[in-house]
Amino acid sequence: MKLNIAIDGPSGAGKSTISDILAERLEYVHLDTGAMYRSVAYTATQKGLQMDEEDKIVKMIEEEMDLKMNSDGTIICNGEDISNKIRTNEMSMAASNVSKLKGVRTALVAMQQKIASEGGYIVDGRDICEVVLPNAEVKIFLTASAEDRARRRLAQNQEKGISGTYEEILEDIKKRDYQDSHRENSPLRQTEDAVAIDSSNMSIVEVVDEIMKLVAEKQK
Ligand code: DC
């Protein structure tokens, strides 16, 4: 039986890496919802829109965005490969800003629910347990200290050739944590039915194994 696995948590807790490994082990598909908010922010920026122009951005999503989230992790928007372009610090903050807008959330949540409707998805984000997949069989709230997350993000960025110092990344993480958990619409918070995992002192494999155990229990 294919389940749905919902993983929420702050930026840099390892959600994407862990979801990718789980997807491979379980032969499920990873849906990175953060990449969807990032793609909206990137496309809006390209069109010269400000991140608070809600009506124009919602119209853009509905009428002018052909977004393909490929299973190999590449993201193609209107024929352009934007996989790396959406990962800059600037786009992180723009995505956090655009994700505050109710209309944007409504449009993206509907797309995410449609994609995951048949099961077999690992969906990661901020509002997955509460809003996108309230009936997901496995729910995880993945955290780590801001310092650990900044260190990991720096290593990832260096691998991808994205510039920025540790201090800049830490400041960005703290700012986004605050913004993502204090916004009016679907703030990041742990639901009662989610299992909390603090990955600060855990390896990626340990986190994956813990989630695999929860999946196995549900599959019994
Ligand atoms: O996971 P990420 O860092 O790629 O997400 C980028 C931003 O998008 C993040 O700051 C908050 C927002 N986001 C959201 O509001 N809801 C989601 N389900 C996923 C991301």
9 lines ligand 1 (CB under 6 A): no
pTM of the model: 0.94
100 C-alpha to ligand 1 centroid (Å): 10
- The answer to whether 44 and 38 have CB atoms below 8 angstroms apart is no
Residue 67 tokens read as: 């977004």
8 lines ligand 1 (CB under 6 A): no
Burial bucket for residue 16 (CB in 10 Å: 0-12, 13-18, 19+) = middle
pLDDT tens, residue order, the chain (220 aa):
799 999 999 988 999 999 999 999 999 999 999 999 999 999 999 999 999 999 999 999 999 999 999 988 899 999 999 999 998 889 999 999 999 999 999 999 999 999 999 999 999 999 999 999 999 999 999 999 999 999 998 998 898 888 889 999 999 999 999 999 999 999 999 999 999 999 998 999 999 999 999 999 998 8
Residue with the smallest CA separation from ligand 1 atom 1 is 34
